[in-house]
């Protein structure tokens, strides 16, 4: 196909301007407006970036209308069902799935790097016991940059990968320590004998003592299904193209700051409840509703135009049909319900809301479907993970995506400092 263009005409002056249309490999094409200001003396206006492609990327693809999500071309359903989170990390960083030997080496390196400098561990003492783990996590990741100054100037592939492996492996330790600090209980160090996800659950749950104990009656093992469920949650969160927190990470990258500071900024952006903080809000809301007989009253509030009440875990800026990650988690939730013998009032409230929302005109006409956070909050509750750790768990899964996007930005010779303009309407 030859070059395609689009011509825009100013209806006052009659001037016309022609712009190239850039072809994507999947999804919408993009009008190249990079010279628009130079050509016309005007800016484009798109608050919230609803029509703006902020970069070129080869990492993740989403088709919101079809409910499709792919990492490096591979559908999320295949990754979640047939591959582990470690394989997904390797895929995002290296653009292909690992061979057996490569996976073994990668997994071992991630286990080795999970320990924190003792100086960094002391930082936690500076924070009050009741600090939210997201705040501590963001601060500790910024502090991590002080230990690795050499990650500022990187040119070789091995340097980028070492920097990425370090943050991916240390994030679960930093998150688990943030949680244990919030309870005022001793840290559990990583265990080199355990895989990524089991290690994190152990650091979160175990009791210190001569022999590592998960429960009071000896050495109870974490159930396989619990490890598989959390590993799947990490995989589903691993990347999501140019969402709010990733846009923040790229923005910080554009100024030349340290990569871990960019990740810390991404963590802060994720914390908000319109983004990753929604998983915590979902459970808080379900607990607030409390019982199935109160659901109808809350649905009435959602529909009332004079009430700002929103159902947490519903709606998405990009998915307007369904969130494919939510579909996978719905199945996992049903499986867990059976295998862990769960039958709580919280689940009953969640099922009733889901049932109403999927059949109600208000939700259907606005394309409001349960998103990933609706089910992840319920599953994490089933895994006995405390609410305050829901968003940190999102962080653990997403770190690989942020750092892969950071590296892609750095390698892109066309990248520029993020510097949008404005429509000034002040005095």
Taking phi over 0 as left and psi of -120 to 50 as alpha, with beta for the rest, 256 belongs to left
* Given 117, 213, 223, 317, the residue binding ligand ACO (CB under 6 A): 317
242 binds ligand ACO (CB under 6 A): no
* Given 133, 172, 190, 315, the residue binding ligand ACO (CB under 6 A): 315
What is the DSSP-derived secondary structure letter of residue 126? G
Q: 218: which strand partners?
A: 215
Q: How far apart are CA 219 and CA 211, in angstroms?
A: 8
Q: 68: which strand partners?
A: 63
* Given 251, 313, 397, 401, the residue binding ligand ACO (CB under 6 A): 313
Q: Evaluate whether 311 touches 356 at the Cβ level (below 8 Å).
A: no
316 binds ligand ACO (CB under 6 A): yes
368 binds ligand ACO (CB under 6 A): yes
324 binds ligand ACO (CB under 6 A): no
Q: CA-CA-CA-CA torsion for 359, 390, 83, 90, nearest 10 degrees?
A: 130
Catalytic residues: 316, 373
Ordered alpha helix ranges (H), 184-241: 196-205, 224-237
401 binds ligand ACO (CB under 6 A): no
Q: How many residues does the chain have?
A: 427
Q: Evaluate whether 358 touches 347 at the Cβ level (below 8 Å).
A: no
- Residue of this chain nearest to ligand ACO (CB atom): 315
**Which span sits near ligand ACO by CB under 6 A: 200-208, 228-236, 268-276, 346-354?**
268-276
**Which span sits near ligand ACO by CB under 6 A: 11-19, 154-162, 256-264, 271-279?**
271-279
CA 146 → CA 16, 152, 166, 404, 405, distances in Å? 52, 11, 14, 21, 22
Smallest distance, ligand ACO to C-beta of residue 6, A: 26
Task: Please identify which residue in the block is written with the tokens 């996590």.
Answer: 137
Smallest distance, ligand ACO to C-beta of residue 269, A: 10
- Two tokens, residue 45: 């206006």
312 binds ligand ACO (CB under 6 A): yes
- Two tokens, residue 198: 């089991």
Contact set for ligand ACO, span 348-367 (CB under 6 A): 366
Q: Which is nearer to ligand ACO, 72 or 316 (CB)?
A: 316
163 binds ligand ACO (CB under 6 A): no
**Which span sits near ligand ACO by CB under 6 A: 101-109, 207-215, 307-315, 346-354?**
307-315
Q: Which is nearer to ligand ACO, 203 or 302 (CB)?
A: 302
274 binds ligand ACO (CB under 6 A): yes
Burial of 282 (0-12, 13-18, 19+ CB in 10 A): buried
Smallest distance, ligand ACO to C-beta of residue 371, A: 4
Give the number of residues in contact with ligand ACO, rule: CB under 6 A: 18
Report the sign of the C-alpha dihedral through residues 380, 381, 384, 390, in that order: positive
Q: Which is nearer to ligand ACO, 116 or 357 (CB)?
A: 357
Smallest distance, ligand ACO to C-beta of residue 35, A: 30
Smallest distance, ligand ACO to C-beta of residue 102, A: 30
CA 67 → CA 70, 255, 415, distances in Å? 10, 34, 29
Q: Which is nearer to ligand ACO, 107 or 373 (CB)?
A: 373
Smallest distance, ligand ACO to C-beta of residue 312, A: 5
Q: Which is nearer to ligand ACO, 62 or 171 (CB)?
A: 62
371 binds ligand ACO (CB under 6 A): yes
* Cα angle: 72, vertex 76, 81; to 5 degrees: 125
- Two tokens, residue 102: 């490569």
Q: Which is nearer to ligand ACO, 310 or 410 (CB)?
A: 310
302 binds ligand ACO (CB under 6 A): yes
Q: Which is nearer to ligand ACO, 207 or 362 (CB)?
A: 362
Q: Evaluate whether 376 touches 390 at the Cβ level (below 8 Å).
A: yes
* Given 87, 226, 231, 373, the residue binding ligand ACO (CB under 6 A): 373
Query: Of 59, 54, 29, 55, which Cα lies nearest the Cα of 44?
Result: 54
Smallest distance, ligand ACO to C-beta of residue 56, A: 23
* Cα angle: 333, vertex 334, 335; to 5 degrees: 90
Edge-to-edge order in the sheet of strand 16-22: 4-9, 16-22, 30-31
Q: Which is nearer to ligand ACO, 190 or 276 (CB)?
A: 276
For binding to ligand ACO (CB under 6 A), which residues are involved?
Answer: 274-276, 278, 302, 310-317, 366, 368, 371-373
């Amino acid at each position: 196909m030859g070059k395609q263009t689009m011509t825009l005409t100013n209806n006052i002056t009659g001037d016309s301007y022609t712009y190239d249309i850039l072809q994507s490999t999947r999804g919408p094409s993009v009008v190249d407006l990079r010279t628009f200001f130079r050509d016309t003396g005007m800016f484009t206006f798109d608050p919230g970036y609803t029509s703006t492609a902020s970069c070129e990327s080869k990492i993740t693809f989403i088709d919101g209308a079809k409910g499709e999500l792919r990492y490096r071309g591979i559908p999320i359903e295949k990754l979640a069902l047939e591959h582990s989170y470690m394989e997904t990390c390797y895929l995002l960083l290296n653009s292909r799935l690992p061979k057996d030997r490569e996976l073994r080496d990668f997994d071992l390196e991630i286990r080795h790097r999970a320990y924190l400098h003792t100086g960094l561990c002391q930082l936690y003492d500076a924070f009050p016991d009741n600090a939210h783990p997201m705040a501590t996590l963001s601060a500790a990741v910024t502090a991590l940059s002080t230990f690795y100054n050499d990650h500022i100037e990187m040119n070789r592939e091995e340097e980028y990968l070492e920097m990425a492996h370090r943050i991916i492996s240390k994030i679960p330790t930093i998150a688990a320590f943030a949680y244990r600090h919030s309870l005022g209980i001793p840290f559990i160090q990583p265990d080199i004998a355990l895989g990524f996800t089991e290690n994190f659950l152990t650091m979160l749950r175990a009791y210190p003592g001569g022999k590592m104990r998960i429960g009071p009656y000896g050495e109870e093992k974490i159930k396989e299904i619990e490890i598989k469920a959390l590993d799947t949650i990490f995989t589903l969160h691993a990347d999501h193209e140019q969402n709010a927190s990733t846009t923040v990470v790229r923005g910080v990258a554009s100024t030349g700051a340290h990569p871990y500071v960019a990740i810390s900024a991404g963590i802060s952006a994720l914390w908000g409840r319109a983004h990753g903080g929604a998983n915590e809000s979902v459970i808080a809301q379900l607990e607030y509703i409390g019982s199935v007989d109160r659901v109808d009253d809350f649905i009435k509030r959602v529909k009332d135009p004079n009430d700002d009440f929103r159902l947490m875990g519903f709606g998405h800026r990009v998915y307007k049909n369904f969130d494919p990650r939510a579909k996978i988690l719905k199945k996992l939730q049903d499986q867990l319900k059976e295998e862990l013998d769960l039958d709580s009032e919280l689940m009953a409230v969640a099922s009733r809301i889901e049932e109403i929302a999927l059949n109600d005109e208000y939700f259907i006409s606005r394309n409001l479907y349960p998103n990933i956070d609706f089910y992840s909050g319920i599953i994490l509750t089933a895994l006995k993970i405390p609410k305050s750790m829901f968003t940190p768990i999102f962080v653990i899964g997403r770190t690989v995506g942020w750092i892969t996007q950071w590296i892609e930005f750095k390698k892109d010779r066309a990248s520029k400092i993020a510097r949008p303009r404005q429509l000034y309407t002040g005095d």
